Amino acid sequence: MSRVRVLVGTRKGAFILTSDARREHWEVAGPHFGGWEIHHMKGSPADPDRLYAAQWTDWFGQVIQRSNDGGRTWDTVGNTFAYDGTTGTHLWYDGTPHPWEFKRVWHLEPSPTDPDTLYAGVEDAALFRSIDGGESWQELAGLRGHDSGPNWQPGAGGMCLHTVLPDPNDPERMFIAISAAGVFRTDDAGQSWRPMNRGLKSEGVSLPDPEAEVGHCVHRIAMHRSRPNVLFMQKHWDVMRSDDAGASWHEISGNLPSDFGFPIEVHAHEPDTIYVVPITSDSEHYPPDGKLRVYRSRTGGNEWEALTEGLPQRDCYVNVLRDAMTVDTLDPCGVYIGTTGGQVYCSADAGDTWTPIVRDLPTVQSVEVQTLP
């Protein structure tokens, strides 16, 4: 029988949750790296026992860990993220030039085909690649070197490159997203990049022009691997869709109670079934009405249904961060969310019903799942 391994990064360590395909009974291992912030942890699609974790504290900075046995043992690998060439400046919150400074890794994206190749999205926004299992890192400097780079500005959480989305059908193409610059796409394996933000509107955030080419606070983008030209986006406000590989976007917020949120995901087997977790507003990072509701659209957007069974429907004021929702590839598709209150919920029936796997972890920063044979 297949199994699932859920990789949970929290403010105070990493946890690994495992179950068989029924997803009813769970074993909880951890904390790994206790006391350290684990911003993201992800497994290689090419070798599921190869895991990577981004470990960090304000005190001691960035560490990268690698496991070759599914998370039982770990070894540190390279943690030098040196910007390529002249560092230059971007804009600070007050609009003045500010030197680029590496702060930490937000997202690790292993290659779909090679366990030794992975990408790291970092703050201040840049994309690094390793081709030796994380031992060394090289910046794909064409991104930060884009003409608009000196005008990028941080969002409230810092100027982070938080989404790395390789096109599964085209090894030359990849999408990334930066708060608060927006989406960029490469069609030449990271040498050059183009902004992909047409159709986004960011009124009342910080832009003088709400439809500017660059400067949007994109929170997350997602795709279904069978249809990589269709992208879904949770923006600071607005849920958006692109049907032309990011060249243009249109809004699909429809009947959501709020179109503010962080994560967005696509069902593993239904490319038009998508999930978001609305929260009240940019200044109130908790669900509307104290009810934790995942919203599902089976129509690729605009028409949304609230998924509530098994989720707290009163006095609930947690958030689900951008990397803290994921899906497995079992049938029926499993959906997972981790909350800032330390709960990890699993739905083994595509969102219809939910049960907590654990309730009392530290603040959950990221949730990834591996479907194992």
Partner 1 sequence: MIRVALPAHLRTLARVEGEVRLEIAGPATIGSVLDELEMRHPVLRGTIRDHVTGQRRAFVRFYACEQDLSNAPPDAPLPSAVERGEEPFLVVGAMAGG
Binding site for partner 1 (CB under 8 A): 35-36, 57-63, 76, 79-82
Residue number with CB closer to partner 1 (82 or 305): 82
User: HSE (CB half, 13 Å, CA atoms) of 322?
Assistant: 25
- The beta-strand segments (E) located in 208-280 are 218-223, 231-235, 239-242, 250-251, 260-266, 274-279
What are 152's two structure tokens? 């990028």
Residue number with CB closer to partner 1 (76 or 169): 76
Is there a contact between 320 and 265 (Cβ–Cβ < 8 Å)?
no
Q: In angstroms, rounded to a whole number, what is the distance separating the alpha carbons of residues 363 and 15?
A: 12
What are 243's two structure tokens? 């049907």
Residue number with CB closer to partner 1 (23 or 104): 104
CB of 23 to partner 1, least distance (A): 33
Interior CA angle at 83 toward 172 and 176, to 5°?
Answer: 35
Residue number with CB closer to partner 1 (79 or 89): 79
Centre a 10 Å sphere on the Cβ of residue 244 and count the other Cβ atoms it contains. 12
Centre a 10 Å sphere on the Cβ of residue 176 and count the other Cβ atoms it contains. 30
Q: In angstroms, rounded to a whole number, what is the distance separating the alpha carbons of residues 110 and 116?
A: 8
Q: In angstroms, rounded to a whole number, what is the distance separating the alpha carbons of residues 266 and 297?
A: 10
CB of 55 to partner 1, least distance (A): 9
CB of 290 to partner 1, least distance (A): 25
Residue number with CB closer to partner 1 (58 or 94): 58
Residue number with CB closer to partner 1 (81 or 354): 81
Select from 292, 325, 287 the least CA-distant residue to 310: 292
